[in-house]
Amino acid sequence: MPASATTYERIVYKNPSEHHYMKVCLEFQDPGVGLNAAQFKQLLISALKDLFGEVDAALPLDILTYEEKTLSAILRICSSGLVKLWSSLTLLGSYKGKKCAFRVIQVSPFLLALSGNSRELVL
């Protein structure tokens, strides 16, 4: 028996998320340096401005959470700017004369993925 003709629609998502989320941590060579959220954002924007200029310093970058004690934050950036942000964080060397480095802990296009990390899973 011939099957009745069915109409179907196939939807393909190539890359559904327009934002990427990064969990980063700032480490100083000498401990005891504190930054508040505004200074942290200023540091990120100046890193982008150094490497990629004023055009890319204006990328829509958001700090979703920030902890002053551990200097760790969750950032959100549009997907086209992820490579630029990551490379400018890699090349950032100092803040107000003090040596520092950004450690990128996790990157994901989904915010939910940053809540758990299979490396830190305790079985």
Residue 3 within binding range of another protein, rule CB under 8 A: no
28 sits near another protein (criterion: CB under 8 A): no
* Distance from C-alpha of 21 to C-alpha of 17, rounded to nearest angstrom: 10
Q: Chain-centre distance of CA 68, in angstroms?
A: 17
Q: Which of 53, 60, 93, 116 binds another protein (CB under 8 A)?
A: 53
- Structure tokens of 22? 């990064």
Where helices occur in the chain by DSSP H, the ranges are 37-57, 82-90
Q: Which of residues 54-113 bind another protein (CB under 8 A)?
A: 54-56
Q: How far is the CB of 11 from another protein (least distance, A)?
A: 33
Number of residues that bind another protein (CB under 8 A): 9
Q: Which of 23, 27, 38 is nearest to 74 (CA)?
A: 23
Residue 83: CB atoms within 10 Å: 11
CB of 102 to another protein, least distance (A): 17
By beta-carbon proximity to another protein, the closer residue of 38 and 91 is 91
Does residue 49 touch another protein according to CB under 8 A? yes
Helix (H, G, I), strand (E, B) or coil at 43: helix
Binding interface with another protein (CB under 8 A): 48-56
